[in-house]
């Protein structure tokens, strides 16, 4: 799973619109309401938000697996009369750039070791009156011990 420090280090200097890494790459506890409240306070644009995993599932096939997901939001502030579509196009480009950076990783990289990179769903997000962009989701599948030790 990704950590905020890992994401900041990986993207630092490689995403042109991100020039204040600590202010523009942030993390939220999760959920739409929490993210909206967070970026409304930040008022910086664009912003990349790492949403911590809050749901997952266990599987016994074969052995034991812990499957979980983590979302990243790429959002841009738009004025009341601003062009949302233009902002979304920029966020979509940024989303693809982030994915291309994450895809080039060492196979021993702990944060992405269990990443299932064969599917990455994404969708448009509007957060409050003045933010728009995209959310994309990364899936992870980790070997875990589910044996009974009673």
The H-assigned helical ranges of the chain are 4-11, 21-24, 32-42, 84-103
Instruction: Decide: helix, strand or coil at residue 101.
Output: helix
Give the mean model confidence (pLDDT) for residues 113-126: 92
- Cβ atoms of residues 120 and 98 within 8 Å: no
- Cβ atoms of residues 47 and 21 within 8 Å: no
Return d(Cα 36, Cα 23) in angstroms, integer.
16
Structure confidence at residue 142 (pLDDT): 83
CATH of 4-143 among 3.30.70.1700, 3.40.50.2000, 3.30.300.30, 3.30.420.40: 3.30.70.1700
Task: Tell whether the torsion through CA atoms of 29, 115, 25 and 81 is positive or negative.
Answer: negative
Give the mean model confidence (pLDDT) for residues 106-133: 88
Structure confidence at residue 135 (pLDDT): 95
Kindly report, residue by residue over 131-147, the tens digit of the pLDDT: 999 999 999 988 777 77
* Portion of the chain with pLDDT greater than 70, in percent: 97
Q: Where are the domains of the chain?
A: 4-143
Structure confidence at residue 91 (pLDDT): 97
* Reported confidence tier of residue 33, pLDDT bands at 50, 70, 90: confident
DSSP per-residue string spanning 37-77: HHHHHH--SSEEEEEPP--EEEE-TTS-EEEEEEEEEEEEE
Going by C-alpha positions, the residue among 149, 48, 147 that lies closest to residue 94 is 48
CB atoms within 10 A of CB 150: 3
Residue 150 has pLDDT above 70, yes or no: no
Residue 5 has pLDDT above 80, yes or no: yes
Kindly report, residue by residue over 57-98, the tens digit of the pLDDT: 787 877 787 888 999 999 999 988 889 999 999 999 999 999
């Amino acid at each position: 799973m990704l950590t905020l420090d890992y994401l900041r280090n990986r993207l630092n200097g490689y995403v042109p619109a991100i020039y204040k890494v600590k202010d523009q790459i942030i993390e939220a506890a999760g959920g739409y309401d929490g993210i909206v409240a967070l970026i409304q306070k930040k008022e910086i644009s664009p912003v990349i938000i790492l949403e911590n995993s809050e749901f997952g599932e266990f599987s016994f096939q074969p052995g034991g697996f812990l499957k979980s997901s983590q979302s990243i939001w790429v959002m841009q502030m738009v004025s009341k009369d601003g062009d949302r579509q233009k902002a979304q196009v920029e966020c979509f480009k940024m989303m693809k750039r982030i994915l291309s950076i994450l895809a080039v990783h060492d196979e021993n990289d702990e944060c992405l070791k269990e990443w299932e990179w064969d599917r990455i769903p994404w969708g448009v997000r509007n957060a409050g009156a003045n933010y728009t962009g995209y959310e994309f989701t990364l899936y992870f599948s980790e070997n875990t011990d589910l044996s009974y030790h009673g």
